[in-house]
Homo-oligomer: A and B are copies of this chain.
C-alpha cells in the first residue's frame, strides 16, 4: 500500500493510530486549501464525537514533525497550514490575493547559498523560503 499515507507514516514512526487521529487526518484530507489552527479546532469540535482542542494541537504538531502538514506564511506575515503534497524538499508560492499555495519543487537557493554561507563561515543546516505574489488566476482577474 501507499507508505506515504499519513496513517502509515504515523505507525512507521512508532505512534499509535488512534481514532481521534484518524478522524483528524480524514478532516485534513478533505481540506481544500490553507487553514489556520483555529479553523481546524473548530472543524474538529463540530465532528461527531468532537475532538478536543488539545488533541488537535498535539496532532497538528505531530503531523508537522512528520512532514504531513506544512506551515505556510503569507506576505503579510499571516500564518497557516497546508497538507503537504510532496515529501521532498520544496518551497511555496503563496498567492497574496486568494491565499492559494502552490509547490515549487525546484529550489532556487541550493548551490548559490552554500557558496555565500561558506564565505561567511556559516554552517548551513537548512533554509526556508516563501515566495509571495499573484497566482495565474488572480493575475487574470486583476487585468480585467
Contact = CB atoms under 8 A, between A and B. Distances in A.
Could you say which interface size class chain A belongs to?
20 to 34
Interface of A: 71, 73, 75, 77, 93, 95-96, 102, 104, 106, 108-109, 112-113, 116-117, 120-136, 139
Given A71-B77, A108-B113, A109-B109, A131 B120 contact: no
Nearest to A135: B122
Question: How many copies altogether?
Answer: 2
A127 B128 contact: no
A123 B136 CA distance: 7
A133 B128 contact: no
A91 B97 CA distance: 24
